[in-house]
Chain A
């Protein structure tokens, strides 16, 4: 593994970048991978040129949800904490953005909304995380607690229908939700860039790319290795001198912020939010995306989210009533047959086929023992 040793002095900037992005914790460490990656990115960049406007706006919605999936992938796949609560941070941020943006008119209001929303989502995650991790709650109960927190929020928001539940100009609206949320926009006084349609698409795409590459760098860094160690064996990691509680809290807070960002982008797309974003079904969607995609990878959840959401749209248009059945079947089959997820399953299949053909050159050529991380 040439990238492992630290001869950073002898490497140019590109080499250092490669070293930062490569490691045992993410899939795809070969040149072939990056060529493929580049092709895919280009396909996305030129997406609006060859797809219908409706497809573009749909894709920007899916890309926003990818951020939500990644927030769970980081927390679950890389620290071992299964949180059903990512939608709580998503929803809180969405509502907060709505409240701020409706009350503070103009693009500055929307920017402020974005900042405050993500901030509050992170703060909420930090408080909840502190309550759970520093209380010594074990992993299964963390999952249960996050689920109950979502339920509490949903129940609370459902009954905010009355006039007393209005913050400034923004009425929370109970079951019916809060409509009329302005698009995110850049500008002072007069907006010069409004985040809708194509602009939103590129904003979401950029966010996903930056997040993916940033997470790759994080996960392959020293800190990322500690995260994986925490997932694999908390006690051993604590006994190597690492403050496991703080790692979990930090990652959980970060996951909350990322879920919050996802919420803001999503709300900008629909200009509306309601408590249904906090239902049990909604809370399970990130789990489905990440479980199906492969929870110990980053690419898996990205692909799975877009695939499942797009499939859901296709199914509800063509097959209508059976969309959720297919979703459920997918989940069931994946958990029972491919517990590591679709992408690692596919990768294993590819290398199994490669082995069968006596071909040693499968996907990753740099590591003689093959992918370390499943």
Chain B
């Protein structure tokens, strides 16, 4: 996290502004009373989840807490049973996923979803071809390839890539849409320590240089500590805690929900 001109940590500065006025500045994403039921199971229960522009938010919680479901509700892959979703001030609850994407949302799925039978270059072309033509397209494709570290493998079929490379590719594709908010569902699952560092650097770079807000679902606490501005803990479909990494790590209730014990919350 880089310092601002007056030497203050921008994340802290935002929080101060919030505390001072009690009003959210530049809220890019806000859910209100979001609820999702599957038959008898309530996966997401009355969730008010908000993200600031340019913020790097991590979403953590035990398995089955509803993290992916929440992301799917934001993208529109799932429709809520109750509640609304707002993006950059507009309500997007009724919009189709592709419309939300065009508003500036983007997602990398939990299971890496690249086009297995297409080459890396053709994969990268798909998001970009809608947005640019001619030489601009070539440039953006080249940029996306080099940012993913896959320029040398541009003509390799995506199925031949390693798991880590596929993650990089999909993140690159999602980022090439130039979104305002990028949702990453487990970007480092199954990756080595070095690969995790690469991805962490990539994320913080995109966040700083292109001012993209992030919501990252992850389990690796070191990874989360490295990248997060703020953390939201989800448990049994509800927002359990929110705060900085230090606050969350110090909270015994959070430890307990991971270990499966009873809580007072």
Contacts and interface: CB of A to CB of B under 8 A. Distances in A.
A229 interface: yes
Interface in A313-371: 367-369
Contacts of A241: 98, 101-102, 127, 130, 177
Contacts of B113: 233, 235-236
Given A6-B137, A24-B122, A229 B75 contact: no
Counting contact residues on chain A (CB < 8 A from B), the size range is 20 to 34
A164 interface: no
Counting contact residues on chain B (CB < 8 A from A), the size range is 20 to 34
A233 B155 contact: no
A204 interface: no
Contacts of A14: none
B130 A6 contact: no
Contacts of B155: 1, 367-369
B126 A229 contact: yes
B130 to A, nearest CB: 6
B119 A372 contact: yes
Interface string A228-242: 110011011111111
A236 B114 CA distance: 8
A236 B18 CA distance: 36
A229 B115 CA distance: 7
A24 B137 CA distance: 18
Interface in B85-143: 96-98, 101-102, 106-107, 109, 113-119, 121-122, 125-127, 129-130, 134-135, 137-138
A369 B119 contact: yes
Q: What are the 8 A-B residue pairs with the smallest beta carbon separation, nearest first?
A: A241-B101, A236-B113, A240-B127, A238-B97, A222-B129, A243-B98, A232-B115, A238-B98
Given A8-B134, A239-B98, A241-B101, 15 more contacts: A222-B130, A232-B115, A235-B77, A236-B114, A237-B126, A238-B101, A239-B107, A240-B127, A241-B98, A241-B102, A242-B98, A369-B119, A369-B155, A372-B157, A374-B117
Interface of B: 75, 77, 96-98, 101-102, 106-107, 109, 113-119, 121-122, 125-127, 129-130, 134-135, 137-138, 155-157, 173-174, 177
